[in-house]
Structure 1
Amino acid sequence: MAMTTETQAPVLNGEDPWTAAEFAEVRDGLQEEVDRLRADISAAESELAERMSDSTEGAGDDPADTGAKAYQREHDLALAYNTRDLLAQSERAIERMEAGTYGVCESCGNAIGKARLQVFPRATRCVKCKQRQERR
């Protein structure tokens, strides 16, 4: 069986090449995550819009209640931002798979490593480059 371009993602020395089934499993996992994150974002946006449109909310609240509601709103917005970021990373990983660049470190151009991608499929850097980035 000939390997398709899709399964020719680079691997580190000592790692077995990607099989079509392994690659499909990672791709399917990413797609499931994209679908779940989109649903989470939609639900969060609906909930935030509902809270914002309630014109009676806050009427008669004391300062502590107002502060608690503001804190909760900021917390919800931060979670929504984080969810959008994860969605973008997952979509980008799928795009890299389709473009044939999945598994290539964006910093040095070497292989990211099959084992790393199976655990963290959104990775865009090899371990060495990621460590260097985090030290900065």
Structure 2
Amino acid sequence: MTSTMQEPVELLRDRLERAFAVHTNRLTELTVRGPATDPATYEAQVESARHGVANTAQALRRMSEGSYGRCEACGTTIDWQRLVAVPHARRCSHCR
């Protein structure tokens, strides 16, 4: 990662860390509270929170490993605009 990208990537890291906290808190809340609505809606909410936790955790792991911003499919650099829009993106626009 180039030094010119370092500062903006730190901003994305902050966004990802906040998103991770939000998803984790939501999953905890759902687990403690249990189904307040119909079971199908509850399961969808739990699955959405789990998906959010997994996506953000994987993106943060890639950052720490130094592979963040590289497409997992073709290895090219993921466009900055895509990372801003989807900070947990694993694939470039072409491979998604």
The answer, yes or no, to whether TM exceeds 0.5 is yes
Structure 1: unaligned runs, 5 residues or longer: 1-7, 10-16, 52-68, 131-136
RMSD in angstroms over aligned alpha carbons? 1.6
Give distance in 2, aligned partners of 1:124 and 1:103: 8
Give distance in 1, aligned partners of 2:11 and 2:69: 15
**Partner in structure 2 of residue 129 of structure 1:** 95
Corresponding residue to 1:102 among 54, 58, 68: 68
1:1-136 aligned at under 5 Å gives the runs 8=1, 17-18=4-5, 20-48=6-34, 72-130=38-96
- The Cα shift of 1:31 comes to 0.3
Report 1 or 2 for greater relative contact order, CA contacts < 8 Å, sequence distance ≥ 6.
1
- The Cα shift of 1:104 comes to 0.6
How many corresponding residue pairs? 95
Runs of 4+ in 1 over 4 A off after TM superposition: none
The TM-score normalised by the length of structure 1 is: 0.65
- The Cα shift of 1:119 comes to 1.4
- The Cα shift of 1:21 comes to 2.2
The TM-score normalised by the length of structure 2 is: 0.91
